Amino acid sequence: MKSGFVAIVGKPNVGKSTLLNMMLREKVSIVSHKPQTTRFNILGILTTEDAQIIFIDTPGIMKKAKNVLDKSLLKEAFSSLQDADVVVMVVEPTYPTEEDLKVLEAVKQSGKPSILVINKIDTVRDKKELLPIMEHYSRLHDFREFVPISALYRDGIDILIDVIKKYLPEGELYFPEDQITDKPLRVIVAEIIREKIYQLYHEEIPYATAVHVEEFIDPEEHPEENRKKVYIRAIIYVERESQKPIIIGEGGRKIKQLGMAARKDIEALLGKPVFLELHVKVKPKWRRNEAFIRSLNRI
């Protein structure tokens, strides 16, 4: 039996979260076309007959931190490298950018066995174009393997899993076989709501919002509540009073649309009907509040 931790690192918006979800065949990490969607390390656990791979989906490593939240994201990403047995660096099918080189420097400093994953190969007409890119990266660092994939279409995912297994240490299971993440349901639910904010709102609004699940009542666990649906009450925090009506929308239409989209995914996750109640509150400058940021990961 092999078991170990695998850090998935890369610049923002390179497809790390999509890759994690596809490897698990379950959605544990939110996905958006906007960069810097992931805000903390998320463990995804894949257990097969011969291995348990604990993936660490990390925030994208950016060039410069603008605030306490950005610093927290970078800290999360770099800490994953220290905890990992294997590092998977995800890049696009292009020559490295300045951000890629910053990620690569962190990979080098970790000293861990590393695999270069070239994602989004579905955007490349002739796969021969990948050869000089791999050759270029091979001159920059001693990667153990190069694996071209399309996470979106699950092309090359099984090959990547087999490659990762080769570099894992021998060991016992860290988690039960049926567990797919270490995050409590409240955190996953909050992340689903935040994902829909990224999908439905534009410009700065998604980055200025945080989500906290205040109540989560499952009728199976709390029959005394006499409820027929899972009751979830969540707070959407914004930084300025002017952002609150944008989230709510005229006549409450926008937040209703948000609630419907989030409830659909939450019900799919839980396999149960859900009553989702959303509220919007203003918490000025929360992205500069380190204690508040830490609390979001410890619901």
User: For 108-153, how does the pLDDT look when each residue is reduced to its tens digit (9 = 90+)?
Assistant: 989 999 999 999 999 999 999 999 999 999 999 999 999 999 999 9
Q: Greater confidence, 73 or 225?
A: 225
**DSSP β-ladder status, 210-217 and 230-238:** antiparallel
CA angle, 192 as apex, 46 and 244 as ends, to 5°? Answer: 155
pLDDT tens profile 248-285:
999 999 999 999 999 999 998 889 999 999 999 999 98
Beta bridge partners of 181: 44
DSSP state for residue 77 in the 8-state scheme:
H
78 CB-contact burial (10 Å; exposed 0-12 / middle 13-18 / buried 19+):
middle
Q: Does residue 67 surpass a pLDDT of 90?
A: no
> Cβ contacts of residue 59 below 8 Å, gap of 6+?
12, 36, 38, 39, 40, 41, 73, 74, 76, 77
Q: Greater confidence, 3 or 287?
A: 3
Domains of the chain: 2-166 (3.40.50.300), 185-296 (3.30.300.20)
Q: What percent of the chain has pLDDT over 70?
A: 88
Beta bridge partners of 210: 237
**What local confidence, expressed as pLDDT, does residue 164 receive?**
97
Q: Does residue 21 surpass a pLDDT of 70?
A: yes
Average pLDDT over every residue of 61-89? 68
**What local confidence, expressed as pLDDT, does residue 12 receive?**
83
pTM of the model: 0.77
Mean pLDDT estimate for the chain: 87
Confirm if 267 and 273 have CB atoms less than 8 A apart.
yes
**What local confidence, expressed as pLDDT, does residue 237 receive?**
95
pLDDT tens profile 190-200:
989 988 998 89
Using alpha carbons, select from 9, 65, 2 the residue that is nearest to residue 41: 9
Average pLDDT over every residue of 149-162? 95
Task: Tell me how crowded residue 267 is: count the other CB atoms within 10 A of its CB.
Answer: 15
Q: For residues 21 and 27, give the distance between their C-alpha atoms in angstroms, rounded to a whole number.
A: 5
Average pLDDT over every residue of 213-231? 88
